[in-house]
Amino acid sequence: MRATLGLVVWLVTISQGAGKLCDGRREGAQCYGPLDGKIVLRLMDTAPFRYNWLKKAIILLRGRENTLLTKLPERFSFTPNSGTLKIENLKRNDSGNYTLQIFNKQGIGIENRTLQLFIQAPVTSVHLASKCQSQGVQPVSCSSKGGDSLQYRWSLNKKPLQDSDLLSGDVQANNITLKPYISGQLICFVRNDVSESQNEVTLSCVFINCTSNGTVISQWLPEMKKNLCDKPTPGDESPHSTNYLPLMGGILSALFILLMIGLAVVYKLKKKQSSVEDEEELTYADVRIVNQPRRSIKMREEVEVEYGQVKLSQQPRGTVAAKNDASIYAHVRKHR
C-alpha cells in the first residue's frame, strides 16, 4: 500500500512538471540539471527505516521512515512516500558527488549508493550563417549564445547530412564547408544534456554577373541577391553554363583556325593547278597556229616552182623559148 501510494505521488509530481527526472536508484547514476532550473532525483522506492543523504561529508538529508530528522536547505524538498528529492534554482556548485546511506533498525549500514550531479547552462538560441565562395563552395557556421558541453547535428532536406556532402569538417562540428552546388534546407541542431535548440538556412548559391546602380557585380552570391541586378544578363543564373563558356570558346576558336588553314591550303592548290593548265594551253597554241602553217606554205611554193620549170622547158619554138626562158627564170629568181 505504501509503495503504491509513493508511486502515485511520484507520477503526480512528474505530471505537474516538477522538473527533469533522473533515476538515482542505481549505483553510479549520472544526473544532469539545467542552470537556474530544477531537477527531480529518484533516490529510493520508499523511505527505509533510516537513511542519510550527503554531499561529501555534509549531511543534507536525514530521516527515519516518513519522518525528516533534519531541515533541508531552502531550495530542496523531499517526498518520503515516493523517495524523490526536488532541487530548484540550480546553481553551479550543486554539481558534485552525492551519497545515500541506508541503515537497518539496528543502525547498521546496509547500502551506500553514489550519484553524480552535473549542472549545465541550457542552449538559449542558435545562430546559423552561410557564405557563397568561389565555384559555389559554401562554408557554414553554427553557434549558440549559451550552453555547456554543446553537441551539434546537421540535416539537409530532412535527411542526416553525410560526410560525402562536405568539403571540410565533419557532421558533428559546428563549422563545416559544403561542396559546390549543394542546395536546399540545412538545419543545425544544438543540444546538451539539459536542452536542445535549432535553426535553419536555405542554401542556394548562383553566379551573378550584372550591374547594380552602375557597379559591376561578378561573383557567387545567394540566389536572393539576384534582385540587386539592374538588368540580369542571360545565363547568369546557370553556374554550370558559365563554367563551360571558356572551354566552348576555346574549342570554337580552334575550329575557326583549322577552317582558315584548310581554306588557305585549298586556295593554294587550286592556284597551282590553274597555273599548270595555262602553260599547257600556251604550248599547244604555238604548235598549231605558228609553226605548222609556215611549213605547209613553203612546201606548196616549192612544188609550184618545180612544176613551172618543167612546163616551160617543153615550148616548141627555140627563139621564143629562149626569151621566155630567161624572163621566166629571172622572174622566178626574183620571186624567190
- Digit-coded pLDDT (tens) for 128-150: 999 988 888 999 999 998 899 99
Tell whether 58 and 82 lie within a shared domain: yes
What local confidence, expressed as pLDDT, does residue 303 receive?
Answer: 42
Are 138 and 156 spatial neighbours (Cβ–Cβ below 8 Å)?
A: no
Amino acid 276: pLDDT:
58
Give all strands of the β-sheet with 39-42 in edge-to-edge order: 20-23, 39-42, 84-87, 76-79
* Residues 159 and 191 reside in one and the same domain: yes
User: Would 259 be classed as within a structural domain?
Assistant: yes
- Whether 285 shows a pLDDT value over 60: the answer reads no
Which residue, 63, 93, 57, is CA-closest to 81? 63
- Does 27 reside within a domain? yes
Q: What is the pLDDT of residue 226?
A: 65
106 by Cβ neighbours in 10 Å (0-12 / 13-18 / 19+) ranks as exposed
Question: How many CB atoms within 10 Å of residue 248?
Answer: 10
At 67-79, the pLDDT tens digits run: 888 888 889 999 9
- In this structure, the answer to whether residues 8 and 74 fall within a common structural domain is yes
In tens, the pLDDT along 41-68 reads 999 988 888 999 999 889 999 998 888 8
Range of the domain at 291: 255-336
Instruction: Kindly report the CATH number assigned to the domain that includes residue 116.
Output: 2.60.40.10
SS3 138: strand
Please tell me whether residues 135 and 186 are part of one structural domain.
Answer: yes
**Looking at the 3D structure of the chain, how many domains does it have?**
3
Q: Among 82, 104, 120, which residue terminates a domain?
A: 120
Q: Per DSSP, what are the bridge partners of residue 64?
A: 67
101-117 pLDDT tens trace:
999 988 899 999 999 99
pLDDT at 5: 36
With respect to residue 237, please indicate whether it lies within any of the assigned structural domains: no
Band of pLDDT at residue 245, cut at 50, 70 and 90: low
pLDDT value for 184: 92
What's the chain's average pLDDT? 76
Which phi and psi angles does 90 have, rounded to 5°? -60, 140
Residue 155's pLDDT band (boundaries 50, 70, 90)? Answer: very high
The DSSP output letter for 145 is S
Is position 214 within any domain?
no
